[in-house]
């Protein structure tokens, strides 16, 4: 039997792209899809845009928060679906993705992962790294998928107490590594989420690199010491790539 999905969109002053994100969900919505939007107290026209779709949004929260991961925790904790996914306010699902994911829930995996297309400012798209099986630890170090392409059981998020507020940029990485270090079942769906690239400030890059480094050392301390050169080069590449996507 297909399981219910809960899609969470966190937004703050996202007037430029939020409508596109909303439409990509509600155009695929049915009784097995719950849509939750958590707004951090936007001061632009974001709230007016959301208001237009209020009858298609199951849960809407608008209040100040302690950052994106606090807002994401509010979202998943309200979810009633067995699986939860987080769609950034400036990203969107391509048609048919949610139905494909729903079909995979028949297999009852712990996690379902879709493909990711990265879109630059000119609208050009490139396929993000795609991995179709759980490999050795280097798979986890590379994190071959971004958190918006992941549909994960709510009970697993709850088991790890959601996203840590100790990180400002990389808490999603921390949670994914916690989950991947367990014996979990993963299914891959040949459907696409499109993620828009943003710029990388020097401050964000330095903070992000520190956070990713701390997280990787916490999770893979022994293995990292034996592969320190590989890891340092990986951190520089992944941090830049991830922050541009996560903005």
The pTM is what?
0.84
Distances (CA, A) of 96 to 4, 23, 114: 16, 13, 12
Domains of the chain (ranges, CATH numbers)? 5-198 (3.90.550.10)
What pLDDT, on a 0 to 100 scale, did the predictor assign at position 134?
Answer: 47
Identify which has the larger pLDDT, 72 or 236.
72
What pLDDT, on a 0 to 100 scale, did the predictor assign at position 63?
Answer: 97
The CA distance from 75 to 37, in Å, is 7
The CA distance from 224 to 228, in Å, is 5
- pLDDT confidence band for 138 (50 / 70 / 90): very low
Q: Decide: 109 and 188 in contact? Cβ < 8 Å.
A: no
User: For residues 10, 140, 177 and 226, what is the CA-based torsion angle, rounded to 10 degrees?
Assistant: -140
- pLDDT confidence band for 71 (50 / 70 / 90): very high
Average pLDDT, the chain: 84
Look-up of token digits 């951190």: 235
Give the closest residue to 84 by CA, choosing from 192, 10, 169. Answer: 10
């Amino acid at each position: 039997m297909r399981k219910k999905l809960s899609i969470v969109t966190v937004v703050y002053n996202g007037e430029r792209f939020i409508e596109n994100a909303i439409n990509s969900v509600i155009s695929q919505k049915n009784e097995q899809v719950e849509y939750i939007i958590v707004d951090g107290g936007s001061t632009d026209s974001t709230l007016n845009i959301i208001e237009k779709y209020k009858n298609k949004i199951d849960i809407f929260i608008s209040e100040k928060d302690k950052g994106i991961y606090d807002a994401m925790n509010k979202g998943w904790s309200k979810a009633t679906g067995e699986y939860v996914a987080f769609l950034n306010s400036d990203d969107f699902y391509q048609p048919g993705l949610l139905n494909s994911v729903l079909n995979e829930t028949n297999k009852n995996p712990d996690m379902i992962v879709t493909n990711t297309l990265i879109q630059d400012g000119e609208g050009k798209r490139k396929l993000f790294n795609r991995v179709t099986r759980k490999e050795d630890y280097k798979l986890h170090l590379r994190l071959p998928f971004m958190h918006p392409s992941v549909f994960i059981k709510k009970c697993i998020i709850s088991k790890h107490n959601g996203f840590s507020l100790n990180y400002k940029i990389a808490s999603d990485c921390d949670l994914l590594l916690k989950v991947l270090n367990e014996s979990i079942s993963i299914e891959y769906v040949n459907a696409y989420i499109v993620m828009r690239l943003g710029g990388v400030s020097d401050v964000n890059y330095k903070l992000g690199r520190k956070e990713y480094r701390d997280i990787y050392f916490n999770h893979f301390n022994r293995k990292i010491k034996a592969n320190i050169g590989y890891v340092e080069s990986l951190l520089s590449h992944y941090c830049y790539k991830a922050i541009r996507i996560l903005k």
